[in-house]
Amino acid sequence: MRRKHLEMVLSRMEDLEDPDPKLEQYLTPTHIAVDILTKALENGDIEGKKVAELGCGGAPFGIGSWILGASEVLCVDIDPRCINLATGNLERAGSDPRVGNPPGSVEFEQMDISDPASGLPGVDTVFMNPPFGSQNRRADRPFIREAMKMGKIIYSLHNGVTRSFLLKEIGRLGGKVLDEERYRMEIDHRYHFHTREKMMIEVILLRYQGGGVDG
């Protein structure tokens, strides 16, 4: 599928009407999600691979990976509303004639990944845009640990100012950062504590190796 067509399909995805500030539920801008998916496809991390999206929300990475030829996709979120939202987004994407009939499967799982009993299966590639930790400090740590346990390659978006912590944490867990990319992300007035209609923050995409981490 052409990049512009993928962007058109994903731009039709719906967002939560009443996001939970405690979970730091933010929509990943479509152009950023598509850019990351395109890079992952070029790196051989999607087509024919088992893919997971942690903290999936509306599941842009999971659904995008399915469209681009992933063999199996697992979308996980703690919020049951997100599972319903992502299911609807998958149906919406599947009805778009540009998508065709991808051969892979997509499953949704409501789960708290910080639960030691979560027992998520191993996959080839993990995508995630986890909480930045601005409301709950270090809220991204469980995502990093779980992603590294289950995934061979991880793509994760984080607040750019946390880069030094992220590199230390990934290294502490035995991972290795392979690539970095920075984006400017626009955030709309979404929660009561937002004082501006729109704000721009710098986010960092890290692509790193994981697999079998116990820490």
The pLDDT value given to residue 123: 97
Distances (CA, A) of 163 to 48, 125, 182: 31, 21, 11
Q: Which domain range does residue 92 map to?
A: 3-209
The pLDDT value given to residue 215: 42
pLDDT bucket at 197, cuts 50 / 70 / 90: low
214 is a domain residue: no
Determine the Cα–Cα distance for residues 91 and 89; give it in Å rounded to an integer: 5
215 is a domain residue: no
103 is a domain residue: yes
Starting at the earlier edge strand, list the strands of the sheet with 151-159: 105-110, 72-77, 50-54, 123-128, 151-159, 198-209, 176-188
The pLDDT value given to residue 15: 87
Give residue-wise pLDDT tens across range 88-123: 999 999 999 999 999 999 999 999 988 876 789 999
3 state DSSP class of 124: strand
CATH number at residue 15: 3.40.50.150
129 is a domain residue: yes
| Domain total of the chain | 1
Determine the Cα–Cα distance for residues 19 and 174; give it in Å rounded to an integer: 34
User: What percent of the chain clears pLDDT 70, i.e. is strictly above it?
Assistant: 88
